[in-house]
Chain A
């Protein structure tokens, strides 16, 4: 009866492979969105953008320090609420090894400068003119915050608007050891 066993095994393998392939495909199809996004633990893509004074900022410039990376726009209400809190916490943490980098989504220098002046922001503000960084970070709704640990990895991506308390604890969490 060896042949019978062999036949069963072959059939079983074929059916199993087919079933797995189908389940894998369905799983992929269902999780398509999440796979494309940046996840905790991934290396944060390095980038180079220019600020309002014309200085170049690289993410890698801040290696060794924690980076509170924030994507924003002047029309976005929650961003307006967040910014003053971010500024205050920045003052607390900037000498403790945590930097803030605010990336504006392709708006005019006029609008960005106005906003910076209005809210008295002192942390570096850069403009993503071509939206390339925004795409690489898969930014959807604004504000989008990415907490980057001193080793350059994405530690956490807290969604939506953050309260001052949350900003404080997040900045605390990315302080270098």
Chain B
């Protein structure tokens, strides 16, 4: 690992291709090249020089651009696999078993294979996460490996370069001044280049005009942005950094907000508006009855009283009233509540009439609140209806006993006891929707269904994401670096005037030779310089692939 001492006396780190002081080619391949590789200004890419220990080997592996590009391509292909069939988290199925069945049922054997191989949950899989992790390591290692030497090299570069450096640049010129006084040439160059917004440095008979050095930092800045972004994403998995819950809440209900302890939401109203346009061709083709215009849930946000325990809803404080719409979530205390989904027309109340079967005479009506029924409803003197049993979601009989599937009033059924003046002992009737009443014997009275009231249910999602600012910063830095690296180019012009007044000149840019040539044309004309040559174009297409000299 010896340092390389150049003829000019400067000590270069091992592996340096071009002397950092004078520019003489040092390495064998640098000496052999017709046009020098200026990608890292001749500095040693550290990974390519040290290769001893296992740590070095791992480091070098990640520093390689070939490995990085391969990782990008593998990630790209892996991601595409996740789009052929819907991913697991998008399927409406409750249990794992149901999900497995879904793939086989809907997509046949390919679907089953898709599920078995884990492709139905690619983006959450450990190997996909490792892939992204490897990509991150690659970005960091490659940037450190190249960025630091490049920075040092550019910072320490000298104005005066050796002839062998100058002659091996892509753009060169040599010859006498075409007109005017040669002693003024360097001043003219300096003047023009300054006008073209270059920074000009002189050192005796040498001149260096440089512009946009910061552009070289572009890739390293954008890589930094990506790493910050990935870091932000990784942070979301740390418990507490990311809340993602969902709740269904009926109009009129007050519910505790999952994920947001101590807060309650009251759904005042759900509103669905549609456009009343004439059906468009798109609508007809897709079978859409009306195009939705607005989904909105008007809510009241409550906070528990100071020091109140879980479940205590006394003395709640109303902190916010808001209409949650798509694109307009409710924001409070770092949380955001989004309008996601809705269900319409859930049964809210049912109205029955106590009717005498034969005469059809009604003894009165009662309205039952399906989420809070009363035990009995008094209709008049010696006339009342009692609910002996209530089954909100009647699902059939089991051993003669009515069953309810859930607590939600999807299919209400009742066991009524009707007490009337001529039947003071009461008659019992089991009433359900869409079926005739089941009676113990032959009743004289029956409960006639009269009316329902419905209400809507809103589906909301609750999110809290502390990592969002980090992601924003990462994204912004990424874009900044990308812009810097893409839209600005680093240009340099080296000039030396020899004893006899002739000019030797070389120019380099990291990208966009087209534009630097325009600058060179201007200064060549102004300072009467010898015409420059593009050594790459002179070589023709033969240098197209392989050693890149951009």
* Interface flags, A29-52, vs B, CB<8A=1, else 0: 110100110000000011111000
- Report whether A75 and B404 are in contact in the complex, using a CB–CB cutoff of 8 Å: yes
Given known A48-B309, A49-B311, contact A29–B237 (CB-CB < 8 A): yes
Which A residues are in CB contact (< 8 Å) with B371?
108
CB distance from A139 to the nearest CB of B (A): 11
Q: Does A92 contact B (CB under 8 A)?
A: no
Q: Does B133 contact A (CB under 8 A)?
A: yes
- Report whether A130 and B313 are in contact in the complex, using a CB–CB cutoff of 8 Å: yes
- Report whether A133 and B310 are in contact in the complex, using a CB–CB cutoff of 8 Å: yes
Binds A, one of B35-43, B251-259, B293-301: B251-259
Q: Does B55 contact A (CB under 8 A)?
A: yes
Q: Does A122 contact B (CB under 8 A)?
A: no
Q: Does A132 contact B (CB under 8 A)?
A: yes
- Report whether B237 and A128 are in contact in the complex, using a CB–CB cutoff of 8 Å: no
* Interface flags, B115-144, vs A, CB<8A=1, else 0: 000000000101001100100110011001
- Report whether B136 and A46 are in contact in the complex, using a CB–CB cutoff of 8 Å: no
- Report whether A135 and B256 are in contact in the complex, using a CB–CB cutoff of 8 Å: yes
Which B residues are in CB contact (< 8 Å) with A114?
389-390
Which B residues are in CB contact (< 8 Å) with A129?
254, 313
For the complex, give the distance between the alpha carbons of A30 and B121 in Å. Answer: 12
- Report whether B407 and A28 are in contact in the complex, using a CB–CB cutoff of 8 Å: no
Q: Does A120 contact B (CB under 8 A)?
A: no
Binds A, one of B281-289, B372-380, B430-438: B372-380
For the complex, give the distance between the alpha carbons of A73 and B391 in Å. Answer: 12
For the complex, give the distance between the alpha carbons of A108 and B404 in Å. Answer: 14
Binds B, one of A10-18, A62-70, A145-153, A159-167: A10-18
Query: Which chain B residue has the least Cβ–Cβ distance from A46?
Result: B309
- CB contacts under 8 Å to A, within B392-406, are 392-393, 403-406
Q: Does A157 contact B (CB under 8 A)?
A: no
CB distance from A163 to the nearest CB of B (A): 21
- Report whether A32 and B309 are in contact in the complex, using a CB–CB cutoff of 8 Å: no
User: Which one of B308, B371, B373, B407 has the greatest number of beta carbons of chain A within 10 Å?
Assistant: B407
Given known A15-B137, A110-B387, A111-B390, contact A47–B407 (CB-CB < 8 A): no
Cross-chain contact of A106 among B137, B309, B407 (Cβ < 8 A): B407
Cross-chain contact of A15 among B59, B130, B254, B261 (Cβ < 8 A): B59
Q: Does B50 contact A (CB under 8 A)?
A: yes
Which A residues are in CB contact (< 8 Å) with B237?
25, 28-29, 32
Given known A110-B390, A114-B389, contact A8–B405 (CB-CB < 8 A): no
For the complex, give the distance between the alpha carbons of A3 and B52 in Å. Answer: 14
Cross-chain contact of B310 among A12, A22, A35, A136 (Cβ < 8 A): A136
Cross-chain contact of A26 among B50, B126, B312 (Cβ < 8 A): B126
Which B residues are in CB contact (< 8 Å) with A74?
404, 407
Cross-chain contact of A45 among B137, B310, B387 (Cβ < 8 A): B310
For the complex, give the distance between the alpha carbons of A65 and B313 in Å. Answer: 26
For the complex, give the distance between the alpha carbons of A30 and B259 in Å. Answer: 20
- Report whether A25 and B405 are in contact in the complex, using a CB–CB cutoff of 8 Å: no
- Report whether A108 and B308 are in contact in the complex, using a CB–CB cutoff of 8 Å: no
Which A residues are in CB contact (< 8 Å) with B58?
15
Query: Which chain B residue has the least Cβ–Cβ distance from A135?
Result: B258
- Report whether A28 and B239 are in contact in the complex, using a CB–CB cutoff of 8 Å: yes
CB distance from B141 to the nearest CB of A (A): 8
Which B residues are in CB contact (< 8 Å) with A14?
140-141, 144
CB distance from A26 to the nearest CB of B (A): 5
Which A residues are in CB contact (< 8 Å) with B393?
75
Which B residues are in CB contact (< 8 Å) with A131?
255-256
* Interface flags, B237-279, vs A, CB<8A=1, else 0: 1110000000000000011101101001000000000000000
For the complex, give the distance between the alpha carbons of A69 and B144 in Å. Answer: 57
- Report whether B389 and A18 are in contact in the complex, using a CB–CB cutoff of 8 Å: no
Which A residues are in CB contact (< 8 Å) with B373?
108, 110
Which A residues are in CB contact (< 8 Å) with B309?
46-48, 58
The 5 A-B residue pairs with the shortest CB-CB distance in the complex, in nearest-first order: A132-B256, A47-B310, A22-B133, A28-B237, A48-B309
Give me 15 other A-B pairs in contact (C-beta within 8 A), A11-B56, A18-B140, A48-B309 excluded. A1-B1, A15-B58, A21-B133, A22-B136, A25-B129, A28-B238, A29-B124, A29-B126, A48-B308, A58-B309, A110-B372, A110-B375, A129-B254, A130-B313, A132-B264
Can you show 16 pairs from A to B with CB atoms below 8 A apart? Answer: A11-B55, A11-B56, A14-B144, A15-B62, A22-B136, A29-B124, A29-B129, A35-B239, A48-B310, A58-B309, A107-B407, A110-B390, A130-B254, A132-B256, A135-B256, A135-B258
